[in-house]
Amino acid sequence: MKRATTAAFAPRGTLNETRWNEILTIAAEVFFQKGYEAATVREIAKRAGLLNQGSLYYYIKSKEDLLLALIERAYTQAVATLEEDDAVAASDGPTRLAAFIVRWIDKMVLSNNPLAVLEREFRSLEPSQLDAVRPLRDACNAFVRAVIEQGIAEGSFDGSLDPSVALHNIFFLLNNTHRWYRPAGRLSYDAMIDWYQTFILRGLSAPGRPAD
């Protein structure tokens, strides 16, 4: 069956932005819980209050498309996280990194926007489909890299560390918070933030120069 003619109409929720966002959020939830492959269009439709999986295709072009849209939304939100207020922007590397950790956790991890989960599903997509998202991703990486390099230049961070490796591992840790942190659990939200700030800042610190 031809895919070309699919969704000749229905510019995917452009019509009703609110509904479209609802659906995206529901899909995020389901993909998050089951993984992309195991998630079914049927379940997403049902949770969206539709009687039928076919109805979902009024909004989406394909399941893959839904994942793509989700990734796009997540990264757009991610980029918004890079904005610093003036005081922070003028601070030293460690301070800026600590502030970034708070912002990132606030926006990315607690919202229903589990980037780590989505990244895990990248394999389900052809590389070219990520083209739209790559610049956004790069922007996030560039930001953290710049902060790390500032810290190194200032002598706070270890000059021998590889910023690429560091930024990758930092994002990795933050983005997988949901794997261990439970809002209702033993550890408070502030304690969780604190753990990350302490662990990461000390982890990067220059030898003989404690982060605190």
39 binds DNA (CB under 7 A): yes
Report the residue from 9, 14, 85, 182 that binds a second copy according to the rule CB under 8 A: 9
Report the residue from 29, 58, 82, 203 that binds DNA according to the rule CB under 7 A: 58
H or E element that contains 165: helix 163-175
Q: Among residues 51 and 184, whose Cβ is nearest to DNA?
A: 51
3-state secondary structure of 33: helix
168 binds a second copy (CB under 8 A): yes
Most distant CA atoms of the chain, gap in Å: 66
199 binds a second copy (CB under 8 A): yes
Give the burial string for 152-184 (b: 16+ CB within 10 Å, else e). beeebbbeebebeebbeebbebbbbbeeebeee
Distance CA 28, CA 79 (A): 18
133 binds DNA (CB under 7 A): no
12 binds a second copy (CB under 8 A): no
Q: What is the dihedral of CA 194, 181, 151, 133, to 10 degrees?
A: -150
Report the residue from 21, 33, 35, 40 that binds DNA according to the rule CB under 7 A: 40
129 binds a second copy (CB under 8 A): no
Burial of 195 (0-12, 13-18, 19+ CB in 10 A): middle
CB of 90 to DNA, least distance (A): 46
CB of 139 to a second copy, least distance (A): 19
Distance CA 16, CA 8 (A): 17
Q: Among residues 46 and 84, whose Cβ is nearest to a second copy?
A: 46
Helix axes 93-104, 189-204, angle to 10 degrees: 140
DSSP at 84: -
> What are the distances in angstroms from CA 17 to CA 8, 23, 76, 91?
19, 10, 16, 39
Report the residue from 55, 76, 111, 188 that binds DNA according to the rule CB under 7 A: 55
CB of 86 to a second copy, least distance (A): 29
Binding site residues, a second copy, CB under 8 A: 5, 8-9, 33-35, 37-38, 40, 42-43, 46, 51-53, 120, 123-124, 158, 161-162, 165-166, 168-169, 172-173, 176, 179-180, 187, 191-192, 195, 198-200, 202-205, 207-210, 212
Binding site residues, DNA, CB under 7 A: 1-3, 5-7, 9, 13, 15-16, 19, 38-42, 49-58, 61-64
